[in-house]
Amino acid sequence: MTQDEVQIGQLVKLIVPRWDRQPGTLGRVTETGHHALGGQWWFTVGWLTKIAVKYPGSLRLGAEDLHTFELVPESAALSIDREDPQSAPPPMIP
């Protein structure tokens, strides 16, 4: 995934275990912007799962985190509202 591909509302899938989430966990890009100091680009992903985890909300991420996600095609996004907790990958337990 590249910075140019990231748009608000875009469905993304985690492809490596990170932030107590398993690969396959879905999320939506909820915000993008640039930091006031330094101008670094950032984006946030809101997880689409009802499973209780250590980091339940959105995370503000940077360009260095793009490699952990892949885009989910818009055709698939149309059929996904919220992940079914029974089919979501289980959270990672430290």
pLDDT in tens, 51-62: 555 555 667 899
In the predicted structure, residue 87 carries a pLDDT above the cut 60: no
Determine, yes or no, domain membership for 82: no
Phi and psi angles of residue 3, each rounded to the nearest 5 degrees, phi first: -60, -40
In the predicted structure, residue 85 carries a pLDDT above the cut 50: no
If one counts the domains in the chain, the total is 1
Picking from 16, 13, 21, the residue whose alpha carbon sits closest to that of residue 93 is: 21
Determine, yes or no, domain membership for 36: yes
Determine, yes or no, domain membership for 38: yes
Question: Domain of 70: which CATH number?
Answer: 2.30.30
Determine, yes or no, domain membership for 24: yes
Determine, yes or no, domain membership for 87: no
The answer to whether the CB of 27 falls within 8 A of the CB of 42 is no
Determine, yes or no, domain membership for 56: yes
| d(C-alpha 69, C-alpha 67), whole Å | 6
For residue 32, name the pLDDT band (cuts at 50, 70, 90).
very high
The range of the structural domain enclosing residue 57 comes to 3-77
Determine, yes or no, domain membership for 88: no
- Work out the number of other CB atoms within 10 angstroms of the CB of residue 58: 16
